[in-house]
Chains A and B, each alone.
Chain A
């Protein structure tokens, strides 16, 4: 059977990404299992939870990043949410008492940063509002919960985060303008 070649010769550009991901997955899984086993065997504080979360962060942000919505806003918010989760885990499992303040400062700073990312490239980034809205709602909930839990003892950054996240949410609604219903239906559609 003689085959007449009717396709261009493929450029010598082999992608090793699949292979890297395959090897990476096995290495990450091995590291996670080993950490958990050593932690259980040695006893003490549950430091392996932190390591496993850090491995997951490295995996999902660097080795196997998102294939859909790989844009600056969604990647930034993802990194922030994962970092805050990491801080909460450290607070819960290693040393406690400081995460509330630090997380609210991070939320407060990242809300400002995400607004900068949105409004410095508005035409393109206006299609990436959902991560901004979700981050604002999350910050709003976190700061509201902190206000309720800590009652009168909240430090300045918590109410500031609360107000700021509310302001960012309002800015997002304003950005959607006349299309607000359609935009919200698009983001939260279930059909």
Chain B
């Protein structure tokens, strides 16, 4: 009797296991190769304990990648080796039990989000050839396990939000919409980032709660390196590329704000309102994204000729361009400049570890960029200094400590009210410069350029960001108004300095 039961149980198990296989058509022409593929899928099936639909979809991803390899004439053994299920590690064969408290900079993001607004930023790499979606999907499947704090969903605790580890099939999507749109994170197991592809571009859009530009760039680089490995281009794990099968270091998920000494002065966030550009705020944001692609060495030479950094030079142009984008004649412009704390506190964290400062100039004093440079340099030196940043971190830590025991349902409405009142009004715009980005030499020549797009702000009409890759510096402007005055003035100023950029971007979306 018991034997019969056991047999029935075994049979049921076999059926369940085989339920996935018949639907996955074998990719190779040779029967012998398909037999190897069947064993491959058998092994794969044992390594994935996701719900049946997701497990099937993931196995289908492998089948699609194998079909791509078969179509491009790659030998079956090589194809199966590249997609070796060992690359999944134990990620999909263990239940998710880890979680991550939010870092101190991330705590505000869940409170500040609205149905049509969320702090999202986007990093893109432009390859020399069109993206192969099947391979990109596999690259993400193999890469995500190396970034456990990214494989998470935002959840509510009793006192704070947190990131809850989520084992699911993380997907790549074709790009169809407007960049940096809010990510739907409400459902159980939702992704907090998206990977998109369009022609030769791979983009990752992150909810800022996960990471900052540095962490985001590390993920993108690792994803691209894995993508190229799957295409047969092996590279060393240098230049910020992490080994996808390596062990996760505790430093990578650390909240580094807590390591900054709490004694000392604290100051920070509140300032008077800044003048905003005058264009009508678009309901769909960003209503346009524009990239100015320039010769990086020429840009550096122009900045060096004026005796300043590239950041200070671009800021001076932004102030003058901003002057053209408003009808106001008094008040102050303030441009927010994010500061990477890793330069003061070397850290391998992939979580948020940046603060910001505001460079302020009275409108009346803004005329020519060169005249502004000394004041911009002075303010950058003073406001982006370690001392100023430490003070801001201390202020953040103290606020966090003061409200830590207040339940979330009481904290949330107050935080929303305060954020709604302050918002981004103390700044006119933002300029985030990620600096020079490099890739391992084997991959470097296969990438054209990179860019960073800042998500929407609430009242700011434009946000600027910059990434330099190879000899291409890409200055991106995300617009929240149809008024083209700012970018036209910026373009004119760059041309005047001999930097005539190639201009690319998205169509203007009219309200």
Contacts and interface: CB of A to CB of B under 8 A. Distances in A.
Interface stretch (A15-23, A32-40, A90-98, A156-164): A15-23
A1 B491 contact: yes
Given A21-B115, A127-B164, A14 B284 contact: yes
B185 A68 contact: yes
Interface stretch (B266-274, B315-323, B362-370, B499-507): B499-507
B101 interface: yes
B208 to A, nearest CB: 14
A121 B78 CA distance: 40
A127 B188 contact: yes
Contacts of A188: 157-159
Given A8-B175, A18-B114, 10 more contacts: A1-B488, A3-B505, A4-B505, A5-B504, A11-B177, A68-B161, A124-B51, A124-B189, A188-B157, A189-B160
Contacts of A3: 290, 503-505
A157 B40 CA distance: 57
Contacts of A6: 199, 201, 291, 504-506
B162 interface: yes
Contacts of A17: 115-116
A68 B154 contact: yes
A68 B110 contact: yes
Interface string A116-138: 00000001110110100010000
A2 interface: yes
A190 B160 contact: yes
Nearest to A1: B491
Contact of B155 (A4, A8, A127): A127
B155 A69 contact: yes
B307 interface: no
Interface residues of B, number: 53
A65 B115 CA distance: 9
A191 to B, nearest CB: 6
Interface string B171-191: 000011111000001111100
Mostly helix, strand, loop or mixed at chain B's interface? loop
29 contacts: A3-B503, A3-B504, A4-B502, A4-B504, A6-B291, A8-B175, A9-B507, A11-B177, A18-B114, A18-B116, A19-B283, A21-B115, A68-B185, A70-B187, A71-B188, A124-B51, A127-B96, A127-B188, A127-B189, A128-B188, A130-B155, A130-B157, A130-B158, A186-B162, A186-B164, A188-B157, A189-B157, A190-B405, A191-B258
A175 interface: no
B61 interface: no
Given A6-B505, A11-B177, A15-B116, A127 B157 contact: no
A123 B155 CA distance: 16
A187 B189 contact: no
Contacts of B249: none
Contact of B186 (A4, A11, A69, A123): A69
Contact of A67 (B113, B166, B404, B507): B113
Interface in A160-190: 179, 182, 186-190
A121 to B, nearest CB: 9
Given A4-B502, A71-B187, A190 B162 contact: no
A42 B73 CA distance: 84
A67 B115 contact: yes
Contact of B404 (A8, A9, A179, A191): A191
A10 interface: yes
A190 B404 contact: yes
Contact of B507 (A2, A5, A189, A191): A5
Which of A65, A74, A182, A191 has the largest count of B CB atoms less than 10 A from its CB?
A191
Interface in A35-77: 64-71, 74
A78 B447 CA distance: 49
B467 to A, nearest CB: 15
B283 A5 contact: no
Contacts of B189: 124, 127
B380 interface: no
A175 B17 CA distance: 27
B72 interface: no
B99 interface: yes
A190 to B, nearest CB: 4
A10 B178 contact: yes
Nearest to B258: A191
Nearest to A14: B284
A53 to B, nearest CB: 15
B160 A68 contact: no
A186 B157 contact: yes
B294 interface: no
A65 B187 CA distance: 12
A79 B503 CA distance: 51
B97 interface: yes
Contacts of B176: 8, 10-11
Interface in B472-511: 487-488, 491, 502-507, 509
A4 B503 contact: yes
Contacts of A21: 114-116
B159 A125 contact: no
Contacts of B96: 127
Contacts of B201: 6
A10 B282 CA distance: 15
